[in-house]
Amino acid sequence: MEKMKKLYEGKAKIIYATRDKDTVIQYFKDDATAFNGKKKDTIEGKGIYNAAISSKLFLLLEEKGIPTHFIKLLSPREMLVKKIQILPIEVVARNVAAGSLAKRLGVDEGLVLKKPVLEYYYKDDALGDPMVNEFHIDAMGWATKKQLESLKGSALKINNILQKFFLKKKIELVDFKLEFGLYKGKVILGDEISPDTCRFWDLNTREKMDKDRFRRDLGGIVDAYQEVMKRVVGAKC
């Protein structure tokens, strides 16, 4: 698949056009950012790990009936995906209190929630991706009620599928971010699912295995990403 002009460059990925108007190439960078881009660094190999992990998880979800933008992995860093119109809403599914949720609710990080919690955030870097609710989404026209119901239903199904999958890999799925878009009028899952967008803790030790190691200056971020890849994909770069 021939890579054409660059359409968009974000914090962690670059999107390129192809000769097919319905597909694009998603290139995974080694750049790492946190706190809305205020903290930046380069982590060697991160893009390769995230591409491999995301590909495996998208295939798993497709097998379970969840429509995604994934088509195939073209190279260690490049993924061929359907060209979707991203909805300006990030959906965060939480199973364990951590990060901002623990701070907001004044609870200890690590508290297992009685049931999954979904949160919505408006995608706008300048505003810091503020948390919003269904009323905001409806009033601002960011998604129709039908699309929102689809987001909600898909997010809960994805959470259930991934929790079971990661449990077998001895990983606790603490929380994760999802992005959805429209493809030929249908809501499908886009973006990536990786240690950049998820909180992963070792099931036995609860050691962090995700971008929190970068956010909190814990060190060992490459080893953590490699370990997640090893458990998810069954290989190590």
* pLDDT tens track for 159-171: 999 999 999 999 9
Q: Which two tokens stand for residue 95?
A: 């199973």
- CATH class for the domain made up of 6-82: alpha beta
The pLDDT score that the predictor gives to residue 159 is: 98
Report CA-CA distances (Å) from 161 to 12, 56, 65, 68: 25, 13, 10, 14
Burial class (CB in 10 A: 0-12, 13-18, 19+), 42: exposed
Q: List the chain domain ranges.
A: 6-82, 85-220
Residue 186 bridge partners (DSSP): 183
**Residue 214 region, left (φ>0) first, then alpha (ψ -120 to 50), else beta?**
alpha
Q: Which string of DSSP letters, residue by residue, matches 148-203?
A: HHHHHHHHHHHHHHHHHHHHHTTEEEEEEEEEEEEETTEEEE-S--STTTEEEEET
The pLDDT score that the predictor gives to residue 40 is: 82
The more confidently predicted of residues 116 and 32 is 116
Q: Which CATH superfamily hosts domain 85-220?
A: ATP-grasp fold, B domain (3.30.470.20)
Nearest Cα neighbor of 197 from 223, 236, 158, 237 is 158
Tell me the per-residue pLDDT of 145-156, one tens digit each, with 9 for 90 and over.
Answer: 999 999 999 999
Question: Do 60 and 12 contact (CB within 8 A), yes or no?
Answer: no
